[in-house]
Amino acid sequence: NAGVTQTPKFQVLKTGQSMTLQCAQDMNHEYMSWYRQDPGMGLRLIHYSVGAGITDQGEVPNGYNVSRSTTEDFPLRLLSAAPSQTSVYFCASSYSDHSDTQYFGPGTRLTVL
């Protein structure tokens, strides 16, 4: 199993540009989520999904959209990038929303100029 994969690893955007961060898992997990991590801080939940076709907002959803058309994929879309969205983004998955263990991808480091 590849586990949780994320692309790209690094990305630089200009203010106002849009882009999609990709996340995929091959463990047949129902629960997937996106976090952002700012320097020296813990992770903050952006959006999550408890299954295909179902998404919900986390702690910091503004400026981001998600969709879940398949069990495997959970892309995160930045609508109009802002410097405040400069961060490292992690995707995670688990068997269900109340599973004890979440599996994280390697992260995408995003810089918005």
42 is a site residue for other proteins (CB under 8 A): yes
Task: Tell me how far apart the alpha carbons of residues 59 and 3 are, in angstroms, rounded to a whole number.
Answer: 25
100 is a site residue for other proteins (CB under 8 A): yes
Nearer to other proteins, 44 or 77 (CB): 44
CB-based contact 35:46 (threshold 8 Å): yes
44 is a site residue for other proteins (CB under 8 A): yes
Give me 64's structure tokens: 């981001």
Give me 77's structure tokens: 């879309």
Residue from 66, 92, 110, 112 in contact with other proteins (CB under 8 A): 92
Closest C-alpha among 22, 19, 51 to residue 34: 22
CB of 22 to other proteins, least distance (A): 15
60 is a site residue for other proteins (CB under 8 A): no
Q: Return the CA Rg of the chain.
A: 13
Q: Which residues bind other proteins (CB under 8 A)?
A: 4, 40-45, 48, 58-59, 90, 92, 97-98, 100-107
